[in-house]
């Protein structure tokens, strides 16, 4: 399963597209924010301003479709996820991360802000939050298989994925990492 084409939904600063491009992958991206597109055009990309719920590519096009902390910001999260699946080729990989509802880290930060009286003053950083169960309920009716969902953290200094395998650490994941394969026809 060689990855030749990829689509990042919600590319932000484009760091993941840049990384994939250095690996020889034809990396595409969409983002709803026009200022993100302007920045990436200056770096040699052809970014597209588009909504995750209406991805402007044909069906079955990409070997890899991914988004990190994007779909939860939309009304119609399910539509955004369905679009990830639609544009992935049969046998292609889809990776989606969403905020983890039961993350002790999130609960701790929320309690800290309540205690400080800053909770209502802070803008929401996430839309919806998910459990592995309710995320799986969204994914299972779609044309996907081999679904894995696990908690994880991003290491802030190195911005790398850290798998949590120890039972205690498993409960500390800030996000849920969902990975799946689009079913072959």
Domains, the chain, ranges and CATH? 5-182 (3.40.50.150)
Contact present, 104 and 46 (Cβ < 8 Å) = no
39-62 confidence digits (pLDDT tens): 777 777 778 999 999 999 999 999
Tokens of residue 126, six digits: 């996430």
Rounded CA-CA distance 44/88 in Å is 24
Alpha helices in the chain (DSSP H): 15-22, 34-41, 77-87, 104-116, 132-139, 167-170
pLDDT tier, 5 (very low <50, low <70, confident <90, very high otherwise): very high
Tokens of residue 183, six digits: 């079913």
Q: How far is CA 77 from the centre of its chain?
A: 12
Q: What percentage of the chain's residues is helix, strand, coil (to nearest 5)?
A: 30, 30, 40
Give the residue-averaged pLDDT of 7-36: 90
pLDDT tier, 154 (very low <50, low <70, confident <90, very high otherwise): low
Tokens of residue 60, six digits: 């079955």
Is residue 126 pLDDT above 90, yes or no? no
């Amino acid at each position: 399963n060689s990855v030749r084409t990829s689509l990042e939904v919600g590319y932000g600063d484009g760091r993941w597209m840049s990384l994939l491009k250095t690996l020889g992958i034809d990396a595409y991206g969409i983002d709803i924010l026009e200022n993100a597109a302007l920045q990436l055009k200056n770096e040699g990309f052809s970014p597209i301003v588009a909504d995750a719920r209406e991805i402007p590519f044909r069906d079955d096009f990409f070997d890899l479709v991914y988004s990190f902390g994007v779909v939860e910001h939309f009304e119609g999260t399910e539509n955004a996820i369905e679009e990830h699946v639609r544009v992935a080729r049969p046998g292609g990989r889809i990776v989606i991360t969403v905020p983890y509802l039961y993350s002790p880290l999130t609960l701790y930060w929320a309690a800290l802000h309540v205690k400080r009286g800053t909770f209502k003053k802070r803008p929401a950083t996430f839309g919806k939050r998910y459990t592995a169960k309710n995320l799986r309920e969204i994914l299972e009716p779609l044309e996907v298989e081999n679904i894995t969902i696990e908690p994880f953290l991003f290491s802030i200094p190195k911005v790398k994925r850290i798998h949590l395998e120890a039972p205690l650490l498993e409960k500390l994941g800030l996000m849920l990492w969902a990975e799946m394969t689009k079913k072959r026809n």
